[in-house]
Amino acid sequence: DAGFGFGDQDIYWMQRFRPRHIDGVNVSARQVTRARQRVDEAGLADRITFWLADAAELHFPDGTFDKIIALESAFHFRTRQKFFAAASRLLQPGGLLVLADFVARPRYAANFPAWLGMQLGSLAWQIPIRNLHSIDVYIAQLREHGFRDIIPTNITADVIAPFKRFINSRLKKRPPWSRYHPLVRWNAKLQMKLGFLDSLDYYIVSATKA
């Protein structure tokens, strides 16, 4: 699990699907510490191992894994393409890579307000601008790194609009936003107003290591 956050999904997957073992990597020491606590509390420390590591710079031996998952994390990686290269090396032949990910809508930032919204959004969301490209580029990068049977499924309508409603409702409430620096609040509101989320498509992508 590349970029596991606080580990909620790993505990769920282990309890629901009972894989042999799950390894997870995350660059946030705070999140790793809390996720390890959650795994201990769930009695799964012998089945789930969390590592403090960069998903784009992994040092596991070649062919270590049969499946690699990046759940709403790969758009943060520096860069996603380096992660594709690492995933290809680490997967066994026939292994599966699955991602829930954002891509940029083609030709969206054709005017200055849209371009500015994308720049501010990438800053607020900590997304390297090099990761904001179209699904066609995404698929081409996967192929370049030895993946085949690539299946992209666009579920934007099920994700972006409900998330926008949620975020806009939160922005209108004083707590918790009053705890943030005024510049952070300003950026969050401005990138929403300029349509950053409208510049994105949300995909589930699966690909097989050749």
Q: Which residues are catalytic?
A: 72
153: tokens are 């499924």
CA distance 32 to 40: 12
Cβ proximity of 3 and 131 under 8 Å: no
* b/e map 134-152, b = 16+ CB within 10 Å: ebeebbebbeebbbeeeeb
- Judge contact between 125 and 102, C-beta under 8 A: no
DSSP string of 54-87? -TTS--SPTT-EEEEEEES-GGGSTTHHHHHHHH
Two tokens, residue 17:
């699907």
Cα 41 to its chain centre, rounded Å, is 26
How many CA atoms lie less than 13 Å away from 168 in the CB half-sphere?
Answer: 11
Is residue 100 within 8 Å of residue 3, measured between CB atoms? no
